[in-house]
Amino acid sequence: MPQSIPSYSGIPMPSLRRLPGYHHFLKQLTELKEEYVSATTIAQELKLIPIQVRKDLAYTGIIGKPKVGYPVKELIIAIEEFLDWNNTKKAFLVGVGDLGRAIIKYQGFHKLGVEIIAAFDSSPEIIGSTIGGIKILHVDKLTTLAKRINVKIGIITVPEDAAQSIADKMIVGGIKGLWNFAPVKLKIPRDIVVQSVNLAASLSVLCKQLSDVIKK
Amino acid sequence: MPQSIPSYSGIPMPSLRRLPGYHHFLKQLTELKEEYVSATTIAQELKLIPIQVRKDLAYTGIIGKPKVGYPVKELIIAIEEFLDWNNTKKAFLVGVGDLGRAIIKYQGFHKLGVEIIAAFDSSPEIIGSTIGGIKILHVDKLTTLAKRINVKIGIITVPEDAAQSIADKMIVGGIKGLWNFAPVKLKIPRDIVVQSVNLAASLSVLCKQLSDVIKK
DNA sequence: TAGATTGTTAATCGATTAACAATC
DNA sequence: TAGATTGTTAATCGATTAACAATC
């Protein structure tokens, strides 16, 4: 089997990943009171080509006007609907180190419809404290609480060796989507969705490109 | 122009991104004192298929033995050499918030050959202090210091609106590779390499897959 | 109107996967 | 030896890019 992913709605993964970038730029345009925007303009800003932008946007169901472009407000809404940002999803975060703290405090995920309800750790010093309005609880409460509150997303910011066991607990608690920052390939059932943020991969690519460029 | 990337050594980007994962698994094998490993074994562990593993590994120049597999130690070295991990590269980090702190403290990047030499911020409260053995300096010193010490990598962990100007400073300072955590498309000259960690894209993909799975 | 832009259908390109001979 | 595994060459698949008619 390949690195096959649970059926998602026909959109290619790269297109899906580009959509938030379009949204971001469109939001800037609304501040400038622009009513319409062309694929050409978007492409220039994001260093893409117009045809690619049109293809990507088409997946959201938006319909543009020839000669005019896309209606900015409608397009923003189309992207948000498509990405399901309006549907708030509850999330638990486990592992309140610096990275966990950064994610808890960062306001930007609300607009993606993700709301961190509680955070968990195993260290007695921080359990009971509050960060960015979020209570830090003991990991042991994770599973039962997840079940009770019907939490859908689990954010894993624990060290590598704890990641799998935390993932297991989350899954038992009924969590369906994992956002994983630990450098591990999580072993999970088919019906669970995972996105891993692979920092080592990203930095390695940078180093490799750098050494190639310099060598040349 | 597409999202074209500076000439890197013929390896496809997806293969390049998978290499650190292979390395990680191989390191575990050495602890178990395994001498050889087959593509099949690696594939199972990382949920890939053997042929893909063989193709990826071939880029490093490793030569395996039919029927036996790949020599683990040699393979580890081949990956490290290929990714240029043995060649230590100096890095500056700008933006000492929680995320910046997390990256400074994280030990794992040393093995990728990246050494954070100094960190920068604009907030007087933390300038002068030390985090994880790293001095926090004022951003104004960034450019001249980068030039003097010959720093190659810049890590950008500042808020969105500061990212571009920091990138500019880094480039003036002679930095050639940017590791960017701000949700911005940086505008940079051709000879500069960028890897952006796009958290919004990652989380959006998760949300979309989740809503598709649940809807079904 | 003329020209810019959309959306559709086709062509290209590159990564993944398959087939298979070579080999330990 | 027989069978598992590598590495190479070919086929497939999917994303990107091109071509072009439709249209405001």
pLDDT digits (tens, 9 = 90+) for B79-112: 999 999 999 999 999 999 999 999 999 988 999 9
Say whether pLDDT at A32 is over 80: yes
| Backbone φ/ψ region at B139: left (φ over 0), alpha (ψ -120 to 50), beta | alpha
Choices 1.10.3720.10, 1.10.10.10, 1.20.58.1610, 3.40.50.150: CATH for B13-83: 1.10.10.10
Tokens of A124: 């007695």
Percent of chain B with pLDDT over 90: 90
Domain layout of chain B by residue ranges:
13-83, 89-201
* Window 48-107 of A, Cβ < 8 Å to B: 48-49, 52, 82-85, 87, 89, 97-99, 101-102, 105
Test mutation, B204, B212, B216, chain A, max A CBs within 10 A: B204
pLDDT at A8: 59
Q: Which nucleotide is closest to the Cα of B49 by its C1'?
A: C17
pLDDT at B213: 86
Block residue for tokens 């985090």:
B131
Say whether pLDDT at A150 is over 90: yes
Contacts of B124 (CB under 8 A, 6+ apart): none
Mean pLDDT of the region A11-34:
95
- Provide, in whole angstroms, the distance separating residue B18's CA from nucleotide C23's C1': 28
Interface touch A13/B205, C-beta < 8 Å = yes
pLDDT at B42: 97
User: Regarding beta strands A114-121 and A89-94, do their DSSP bridges make them parallel or antiparallel, or are they unpaired?
Assistant: parallel
Domain A89-201 matching CATH 1.25.40.10: the answer reads no
Residue B120 exposed, middle or buried by CB count within 10 Å (0-12, 13-18, 19+): buried
pLDDT at B26: 97
Interface touch B207/A6, C-beta < 8 Å = no
pLDDT digits (tens, 9 = 90+) for A94-136: 999 999 999 999 988 999 999 999 999 999 999 999 999 999 9
| Reported pTM | 0.94
Residue B165 C-alpha, separation from nearest chain A C-alpha, in angstroms: 17
B24 close to A (CB below 8 A): yes
A108 close to B (CB below 8 A): yes
Interface touch A177/B206, C-beta < 8 Å = yes
Say whether pLDDT at A4 is over 50: no
**Nearest to residue A139, comparing CAs of A93, A103, A174?**
A93
Rounded CA gap, B7 and B131, in Å?
36
How far out from the chain centre does Cα A57 lie?
19
Q: What is the band of B8 on the pLDDT scale with cuts at 50, 70, 90?
A: low
pLDDT at A1: 37
Say whether pLDDT at B118 is over 60: yes
Interface touch A185/B45, C-beta < 8 Å = yes
Task: Among B2, B82, B200, select the one facing A49 at the smallest CB separation.
Answer: B2
